[in-house]
């Protein structure tokens, strides 16, 4: 979020230097993303704070932190003329929660004044004309995206908010022709899309320098739909980033009134009373804040008065002050406040985290009660992420399959395609790669750690149970052979076991399935593009790996080509090579060929040595001992 400093100072009077202001924002949780450039701070926004994507939202927190007054800009407070409005018709009420419009007639479209052009330029936006610039200005100021459209280009005096048709097209403001699908929604006019909802406006009804009548609109839409649409269309702009942070419907009315004030100042004309589609107003959140909770979380004992000052300065309304607590109404723009601890966080931020005591606890820490499997799952996640995989959490509900006797059915399922629980994670993780393919991504390596559900399979048995599993899937949207993908899958398995300190494992073919065993215990199975493991079995065999990996030291590699029986397990060979000499830091299979003869296969094995402690003569000697031990 860029903050032009002179813009900020319009709302909060301060003599602080830009560096001092940036330091205050750092204490508030908004770190500098880049060094201060002239008049502009670029702050890194990491939290789900929709109000922090507005100048006023940032100014409010800054004013509260510095104990200064927040001065809000003037808004329109006068009622507009009756009649002359545009009809709003919402055909997608599940997507559009609120929609405001206001009609202006007789406006003068021209260049914006210098002060407005400078502020937009400082923020990084290109000035267009006074009407368009006002909508962008208000979006930056209050955080709610808006559109202004040429009313004379409408064929009907209405705006319809509906689902897009499959294959429907629209030319956007930048001249790009975009093809939509029926998961998206649009603002349409005479059955033709004029805006991609929540994402970008269309060129057909754009305001230009001969426009004299306009319609202004501000909407509040389903966050997930806007996000999905933007990702599908590969559009990321100021509008999308704001809808992504869960805007409150109350923002739309405030944005329209502020824009009305500026349009009358800069373009003149007359305006009509706005139409407001808001069928289900969102009630204000009311919560209790206990002083003892602040002490419990932050270790600081507060008197009621300083807490009340902070709350009021942040926009909270104190409905009732009780003994040791406050009953509050949460400000509409704080959609991130869900539980009492969110308010505690506000109190601690504004009072400065630096004042939280760092004394040693005067009692022993509580006994660890977290089950070991949960802790081990975190270890697994860290290992897989370090290997380059991305974690996904998928829905365990799947269609019922009569051929799976142990599958658990649901009596009260919501839909026919989700009336049972998964018996493998692979069946719910594999569709994730189809999404990658749909979006044109070239490759992905994904994993999930979750539960599978089963029962004995006997008739009448209703005693279901769950077991923790790890599954991975390798996806490549390019010409790779099954062998190449299989090699990558085995490398990931080997890398995971190396990190976990699991050495005594084998991959054995049993029928059509390759079973993974550790110390003779069946642990999972592997295919060419995935492997699945029993988390509890790995946990019981895992050891802490304290060896320094070869990536941290200067290494020498030695390749050995081996011709072996087709049925001999590569894992067994790797283990024997590792055990043949302690100077071998790592062993991996580089290539494997199965088509030499029917009963033989060829593998290329690479051994890694520490260059500081091993010379080529010693490596040759080790290589010979390896070949003798393998008895090829």
Are 125 and 215 members of one domain? yes
Q: Quick one: average pLDDT of 588-617?
A: 74
Domain stop point among 277, 312, 343? 277
Q: What is the pLDDT of residue 342?
A: 95
CATH number of the domain where residue 209 is located: 3.50.40.10
Mean pLDDT, the chain, integer: 88
**Domain contains 360:** no
Q: Could you give the C-alpha distances from 529 to 430, 480, 491, in angstroms and in order?
A: 10, 12, 11
Tell me 206's DSSP state. B
Q: What is the pLDDT of residue 594?
A: 58
**Domain contains 363:** no
Which domain does 54 fall in, by range?
2-66
Express each pLDDT in 515-541 by its tens digit. 998 888 889 999 888 999 999 988 888
Residue 310 predicted with pLDDT over 60: yes
Q: What is the pLDDT of residue 196?
A: 95
**Domain contains 214:** yes
CATH number of the domain where residue 487 is located: 3.30.930.10
Cβ neighbours around 404 below 10 Å, total: 16
Round to whole Å and give the CA distance between 300 and 291.
Answer: 10
Q: Greater confidence, 186 or 419?
A: 186
Cβ neighbours around 383 below 10 Å, total: 19
Asked if 50 and 143 count as a contact pair (C-beta separation under 8 A), the reply is yes
Residue 12 predicted with pLDDT over 80: yes
Cβ neighbours around 494 below 10 Å, total: 20
Q: pLDDT tier at 551 (50, 70, 90 boundaries)?
A: very low
Are 205 and 165 members of one domain? yes
Are 211 and 229 members of one domain? yes
Residue 264 predicted with pLDDT over 50: yes
pTM of structure: 0.65
Residue 234 burial by Cβ neighbours in a 10 Å radius (0-12, 13-18, 19+):
exposed
Q: What dihedral angle (degrees, nearest 10) is formed by the CA atoms of 62, 65, 71, 72? A: 60
Domain stop point among 541, 562, 591? 541
3 state DSSP class of 165: coil
Overall number of domains in the chain: 5
Are 389 and 512 members of one domain? yes
**Domain contains 143:** yes
Residue 228 predicted with pLDDT over 90: yes
Q: pLDDT tier at 358 (50, 70, 90 boundaries)?
A: low
Are 486 and 527 members of one domain? yes
Q: Quick one: average pLDDT of 447-452?
A: 94
**Domain contains 71:** no
Are 174 and 264 members of one domain? yes
Q: What is the pLDDT of residue 427?
A: 92
Are 231 and 259 members of one domain? yes
Q: What is the pLDDT of residue 257?
A: 94
Q: What is the pLDDT of residue 550?
A: 38
Starting from the edge strand earliest in sequence, which strands make up the sheet with 555-565, in order?
Answer: 555-565, 600-610, 584-593
**Domain contains 472:** yes
Are 272 and 291 members of one domain? no
Are 191 and 240 members of one domain? yes
Residue 223 has which token pair?
Answer: 């966050």
Asked if 329 and 342 count as a contact pair (C-beta separation under 8 A), the reply is no
**Domain contains 29:** yes
**Domain contains 48:** yes
Are 301 and 434 members of one domain? no
Angle at 518 between CA 481 and CA 590, to 5 degrees: 30
Round to whole Å and give the CA distance between 64 and 25.
Answer: 11
Quickly tell me which residue has 């754009």 as its tokens.
206
Express each pLDDT in 123-139 by its tens digit. 999 999 999 999 999 99
Q: Could you give the C-alpha distances from 308 to 29, 289, 302, 482, in angstroms and in order?
A: 21, 10, 10, 65
CATH number of the domain where residue 44 is located: 3.30.56.10
Express each pLDDT in 284-299 by its tens digit. 999 999 999 999 888 8
Most confident of 24-38, 89-103, 434-448: 89-103
Are 264 and 321 members of one domain? no
CATH number of the domain where residue 574 is located: 3.30.70.380
Strand blocks (E) in 174-293: 177-179, 185-189, 192-196, 200-201, 213-221, 270-271, 275-277, 286-290
Asked if 147 and 135 count as a contact pair (C-beta separation under 8 A), the reply is yes
Cβ neighbours for 175, distance < 8 A, ≥ 6 positions apart: 203
Domain stop point among 319, 354, 389? 354
Q: What is the pLDDT of residue 585?
A: 83
Are 405 and 472 members of one domain? yes
């Amino acid at each position: 979020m860029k903050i032009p400093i002179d813009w900020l100072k319009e709302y909060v009077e301060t003599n602080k230097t830009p560096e001092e202001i940036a330091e205050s924002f750092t204490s508030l949780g908004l770190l500098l993303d880049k060094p201060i450039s002239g008049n502009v701070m670029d702050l890194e926004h990491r939290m789900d704070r929709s109000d922090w994507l507005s100048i006023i939202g940032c100014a409010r927190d800054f004013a509260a932190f510095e104990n200064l007054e927040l001065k809000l800009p003037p808004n329109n407070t006068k009622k507009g003329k009756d009649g002359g409005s545009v009809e709003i018709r919402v055909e997608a009420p599940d997507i559009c929660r609120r929609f405001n419009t206001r009609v202006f007639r007789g406006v003068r479209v021209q260049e914006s004044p210098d002060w407005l052009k400078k502020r937009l330029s400082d923020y990084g936006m290109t000035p267009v004309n006074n009407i368009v610039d006002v909508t962008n200005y208000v979006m930056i100021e209050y955080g709610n995206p808006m559109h202004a459209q040429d009313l004379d280009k409408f064929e009907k005096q209405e705006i319809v908010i509906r689902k897009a048709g499959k294959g429907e097209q629209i030319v956007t403001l930048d001249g790009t022709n975009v093809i939509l699908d029926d998961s998206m929604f649009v603002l349409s006019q005479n059955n033709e899309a004029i805006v991609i909802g929540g994402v970008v406006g269309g060129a057909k009804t754009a305001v230009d320098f001969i426009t004299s009548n306009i319609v202004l609109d501000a909407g509040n839409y389903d966050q997930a739909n806007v996000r999905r649409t933007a990702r599908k269309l590969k559009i990321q702009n100021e509008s999308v980033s704001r809808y992504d942070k869960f805007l409150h419907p109350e923002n739309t009315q405030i944005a329209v009134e502020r824009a009305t004030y500026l349009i009358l100042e800069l373009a003149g004309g007359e305006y009509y009373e706005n139409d407001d589609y808001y069928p289900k107003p969102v009630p204000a959140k009311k919560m209790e804040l206990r002083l003892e909770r602040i002490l419990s979380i932050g270790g600081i004992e507060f008197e009621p008065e300083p807490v009340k000052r902070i709350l009021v300065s942040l926009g909270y309304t104190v409905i009732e002050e009780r003994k040791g607590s406050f009953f509050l109404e949460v400000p509409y723009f704080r959609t991130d406040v869900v539980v009492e601890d969110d308010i505690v966080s506000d109190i601690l931020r504004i009072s400065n985290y630096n004042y939280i005591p760092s004394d040693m606890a005067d009692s022993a820490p509580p006994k660890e009660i977290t089950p070991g499997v949960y802790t081990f799952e975190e270890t697994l996640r860290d290992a897989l992420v370090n290997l380059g995989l991305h974690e996904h959490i998928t829905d365990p509900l799947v269609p019922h399959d009569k051929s799976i006797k142990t599958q658990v059915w649901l009596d009260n399922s919501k839909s026919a395609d989700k009336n049972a629980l998964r018996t493998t994670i692979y069946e719910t993780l594999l569709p994730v790669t189809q999404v990658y393919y749909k979006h044109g991504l070239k490759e992905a390596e994904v994993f999930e750690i979750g539960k599978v559900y089963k029962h004995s399979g006997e008739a009448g048995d209703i005693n279901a149970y769950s077991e923790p599993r790890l599954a991975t899937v390798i996806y490549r949207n390019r010409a790779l052979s099954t062998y190449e993908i299989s090699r990558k899958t085995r490398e990931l398995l080997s890398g995971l076991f190396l990190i976990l300190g699991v050495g005594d494992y084998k991959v054995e073919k049993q029928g059509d399935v390759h079973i993974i065993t550790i110390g003779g215990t069946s642990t999972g199975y592997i295919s060419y593009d995935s492997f699945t493991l029993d988390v509890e079995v790995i946990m019981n065999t895992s050891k802490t790996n304290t060896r320094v990996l070869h990536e941290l030291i200067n290494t020498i590699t030695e390749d050995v080509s081996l011709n072996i029986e087709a049925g001999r397990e590569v894992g067994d060979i790797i283990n024997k090579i590792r055990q043949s000499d302690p100077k071998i830091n790592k062993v991996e299979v580089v290539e494997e060929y199965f088509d030499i003869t029917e009963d033989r296969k060829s593998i290329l094995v690479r051994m890694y040595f520490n260059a500081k402690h091993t010379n080529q003569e010693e490596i040759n000697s080790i290589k010979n001992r390896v070949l003798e031990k393998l008895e090829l």
